[in-house]
Every structure is written in structure tokens, then in C-alpha cells.
Structure 1
Amino acid sequence: MELINHNSCFSSVLACVFLTICYVGSLYVWRSKESRDHPSTIKKRCFSVFVMMLLAPIFTQYFLSDPSDIYEKMGLRETALFKALLLPLLLTATLFLGPLTMQFFSGGWWIYLEPMFWISCWQDLVWVRNHIMAPLSEEWVFRACMMPILLQCLSPMTAVFVGPILFGIAHFHHMLEQIKGGCEVKTALIISSEYAHILTNKGSKMSCFQFTYTTIFGAYSSYLFVISSPR
């Protein structure tokens, strides 16, 4: 029987768990009493995840049994580039076809042609975090850097669902924000931090729901990563 080493399935999964902990932990290396939406907090956390984006490929290279083609395995390639760009876009647009259609008929699409709209967005640090840094860093770390480690020892479909579980668990760190804000542990568990400020008016959202949603969407993103990879 082959001994467990750094290329084994156990070590690969453990490496992904460690990478998840490092990503979430990087958000809390700064000692601050400000909320997560405070400009100083956003700037510090964006810097933290940027550093993680630089370190994650090094981490991936170490745990790959054959790191010679690491960039191709991470999706940075010229082969099938058009397919990798077009197919996920079409599938995702189809997934959100309902809201996109409603927005089109309501005239909402025209706002995206207004330069001032984009200028105001880029001046809003919350928007930059939610629409640029968070998606970019999460897809880079949890998909581009983590999936190659899992795919070297798991079947594609197994890896598609294992990685996103860690992606979903990572979002439970929002509980810390609630506890830090004075909530009890039980209350923090059921409140999704993104809706905490409207709790008294519109009810609570459950972190368990957020975990389920992010896990399913993570599986979808991982599936797109796998099918877009050259064989």
C-alpha cells in the first residue's frame, strides 16, 4: 500500500483545508474595532486577500505531483481559451436569464451605458469589495489554485463537490462579525451578516442558507472550471 505523502489524497484535501483557513484568517490579521464595511477595514482586507492571491499559486505548486504545467492546470492557458471564456458566460447568462430579461424590459440595462454609474461604483469601496475583490480572489484561490490539487487525486465530479464545501464553510466567518458586534453565538449562527442591519424590519436570513447557496454556486463554478479545462 502506498504511504501517505504530500501527493496523497489525504494530504491534498488537508492542504485545501489549510488554504481555506489561511484565506479566511487573512481577513482577521488586522486589529480593528471598525465594522467590515468601514473604508479602512475594506482596504486592509483587500490587501490581505491580494497577498493570498500571490501566495496561493506557490502553495498549489508545492502540492502538485507535476508542477511543470501548473499555469495550464490553473486555467492560465491559450489552448481552448475561447471555449473557457464563452461557455461559462453563456451558461451563467442562461442561469440568470429570468432576472436579466426583467431588467431588460424595465430599462435597467441602460444604466450600464452611463459613465457616471461606473465612476460612482469605483468610488464605492463596498461595491469594489463585493463585485471585484471578493469574486476575483475567491475564484482564484478556491477554483484556480485549489481545484488542481483536488483533481490530481479525485475524480472530476468528486472534486467538483469537495472543494465547494470548503468554499461554503469559509463563509461562516461572518458569524464572527455578529459575535464581535455583540450578538450571542446562537443568534450569530442564524443571522446572515449581509442582512443583519435590516433584521428588525424584514426578518433574518440564515447562515445555513448562505452556506448551502455558496456551496451549490461553488460546485457550479468548479464544474465550469473542469469542463473548460483542456483534456
Structure 2
Amino acid sequence: MEWALQQPAGAWAAVWLSVFHATLFVALIYAFMIVRPVADVSIHSRNHPLIIRRRIWGVFAATTVSLAATAYVLTNGSTADPVVAQLGLRPAMAPGSAVVGAVLTLTLFMGPLVLDYLDGAFEWAAICAFLATLASSIQRQRDVLVGPVAEELVFRAAVVPVWLAAGISPPVCVFASPVLFGLAHIHQAFMRLSSGSHTVAQVLVSTAVQLAYTTVFGWFAAALFVRTHSVAGPLVAHIVCNIQGFPDLSRANGYPRAKYAIWLAFVLGLLGFALLFEPMTRPGVFVVAI
């Protein structure tokens, strides 16, 4: 499968289409809440069940439009590969990509996973409680399922192929396109400010951290997409990251006797991720050779 495709639009056209995707994604979230407001509930109350449902409809509409727009551009580009393959939606590529995404992400989170084990998160009762919450809580469903699916389809499947088809190099796609993914989360700063429970300084710091975290994850997800030719790997990685959340290093203080083992797990996780990424994403093992 060749990523050096003909140029259906040009680099700047591809970038502007991506800006459109990101803008539409955020705009439709609010549009559905404005068109169908919830009585006595602010549109910034993102965890209210009725607000969540309207936001889900918004991201569903945005995802559909973005995929359709990208498919149209790629089809008119007369490229050598089927549009489904360029979007990373070819079924044959999904299993290997998913395995790679899961193994690399779980390796990266080795330290937090050790802490989860010590906390009893892998006990049968805890697993059942997690699944029960996932089945009954629309907030958890948004965080673990709906959000990752929509964001990976828009910010990976709908964005990266157009950049590649326009002749933008894979490294630039990997490191530049996720900036849009990070910026698309900035609107959450206004929700924090409107709640009145955060100072401007607190919001600025939390927004900067979130922008950095989402952008770095975006690099990983975009690299997985480019190297495995599938959205499945980035999606699995996104789900795992959302379940784990941002690593809380202070948790290690709760286990003084295991402190050094825990920190070793953090280091080994980082080293393991760095050592495994290239061979695991190399065509011919887990990734289907095209």
C-alpha cells in the first residue's frame, strides 16, 4: 500500500479541510444543545445525562460529515487505493492493528497497571463493577466508547489520509495533524470557567496540560494509523488511555514497601514502549504487508 498518492487538492487545501473537520466537531456538539436546550441546565454541564445525549448526536453528525467529505476528496483524487483502505477502515487490517495498539499502550502504562493490581482493580468483583458501570452510565460510555470512536474517525481517519494524499510526508502528518486534535479540546476551558469552581490560573494550567497530553497522544495515534494502515490500533489505544486516565504518580506513595518496584515498572514501561514500537508496527508480523 503506497502512501505517496496523487495530490487531489494540495497541502494547504488538506490542512484547511482538517481545520473544517475540527471546527465542525466542536460546533455541532454545541449546536445540538442549543437547538434542543435542556431546561434549567447549562450547555456547559457536560456530565448531565441529557446534555451528554445531545453531545453524542452532535459528534455522530460531525463524524458522518467529516468521513463523507474526506471520502469525496479522496475519490476525486483518482488514487490507486480504495477509499475504504485509505480511511483505515479495511477489515483485514483491523485485527493486527488492534493488537499492536493494545500491546504498546498497555506496555506504556505498565507502572499505572501495577498500581491498579495493588489496588485490587483486577479482582473479579472490581472487573464486574467496572462492566456494570460501563453498561449503566452514559457518562462512562461517552468517555470509554463514544468519545474514542468519534475522535479517531475524525482526527485520524478523516484527517491523516487527506494530508498523505496531498503529498505531505508521513512524519509531518504524524507530528503536525494532532495539533488540531489538541486544540479541539480547548473549548472545555470555557466549561471550567463557567462552572465558577476554578480560577483563571487553574483553568490555564489545566488547559495547557490537557493540550500537551492530547497532542502527545495524537502523535502516537497518528503514527499507529500511518504504520498499521488502520484506525483500529489508534482506537484501542485511545480506549485504554481513557480508561487509565492521566498517570497519577502520587499513588506510589500508598505502597512504601513496593515503591521501588513500582517506579521500576514505570521505567520499564517507557523503555518497553520505545523498543517495541518499530518492530511491532513493521509490516509482516502483526501488521499485514500490503
Task: Please confirm whether the aligned pair reaches a TM-score higher than 0.5, indicating the same fold.
Answer: yes
Task: Tell me which interval the TM-score lies in, with the shorter structure as reference length.
Answer: 0.7 to 0.9
Deviation at 1:74, TM superposition (A): 1.4
Structure 1 letter corresponding to 2:180: L
Structure 1 letter corresponding to 2:184: A
| Structure 2 unmatched ranges of 5 or more | 1-6, 230-288
Deviation at 1:181, TM superposition (A): 3.4
Q: Which residue does the alignment assign to 2:203?
A: 191
The change in CA–CA distance for 1:131 and 1:112 in structure 2 (over 3 A counts) is: farther
> In structure 1, how many angstroms separate the alpha carbons of the residues matched to 2:177 and 2:171?
11
Deviation at 1:52, TM superposition (A): 1.8
The change in CA–CA distance for 1:155 and 1:109 in structure 2 (over 3 A counts) is: same
Q: Which residue does the alignment assign to 1:56?
A: 66
The change in CA–CA distance for 1:150 and 1:111 in structure 2 (over 3 A counts) is: farther
Percent identity over paired residues: 28
Structure 1 letter corresponding to 2:192: Q
Residue number among 82, 92, 97 corresponding to 2:105 in the alignment: 92
Q: Which residue does the alignment assign to 2:78?
A: 66
> In structure 1, how many angstroms separate the alpha carbons of the residues matched to 2:15 and 2:172?
12
Deviation at 1:179, TM superposition (A): 4.1
Q: Which residue does the alignment assign to 2:241?
A: none
Structure 2 letter corresponding to 1:57: L
| Structure 1 unmatched ranges of 5 or more | 193-204
Structure 2 letter corresponding to 1:209: V
Q: Which residue does the alignment assign to 2:174?
A: 160
Q: Which residue does the alignment assign to 1:195?
A: none
> In structure 2, how many angstroms separate the alpha carbons of the residues matched to 1:144 and 1:112?
37
* 1:16-52: CA deviation from partner (whole Å, max 9, x where unpaired): 0011000011111122443111111001001111122
* 1:97-132: CA deviation from partner (whole Å, max 9, x where unpaired): 111122224431124775454223221121111111
* 1:45-89: CA deviation from partner (whole Å, max 9, x where unpaired): 011111222222111112222366111111111444432121111
> In structure 2, how many angstroms separate the alpha carbons of the residues matched to 1:132 and 1:96?
19
> In structure 1, how many angstroms separate the alpha carbons of the residues matched to 2:26 and 2:96?
32
* Mapping 1:134-173, distance limit 5 Å: 134-152=147-165, 153-173=167-187
Contact 1:111–1:117 (Cα < 8 Å) also in 2: no
Q: Which residue does the alignment assign to 2:13?
A: 11
The change in CA–CA distance for 1:36 and 1:104 in structure 2 (over 3 A counts) is: same
Q: Which residue does the alignment assign to 1:22?
A: 24
Residue number among 40, 53, 58 corresponding to 1:43 in the alignment: 53
Contact 2:121–2:127 (Cα < 8 Å) also in 1: no
Residue number among 191, 195, 210 corresponding to 1:177 in the alignment: 191
Q: Which residue does the alignment assign to 1:219?
A: 219
Q: Tell me the TM-score normalized by structure 2.
A: 0.67
Q: Tell me the TM-score normalized by structure 1.
A: 0.83
> In structure 2, how many angstroms separate the alpha carbons of the residues matched to 1:211 and 1:105?
30
Deviation at 1:6, TM superposition (A): 6.2
Partner of 1:109, secondary structure, is: coil
RCO higher in 1 or 2 (8 Å CA, sep ≥ 6)? 2
Considering only aligned residues, what root-mean-square deviation do their CA atoms show, in Å? Answer: 2.4
* 1:183-210: CA deviation from partner (whole Å, max 9, x where unpaired): 89x81x7417xxxxxxxxxxxx521111
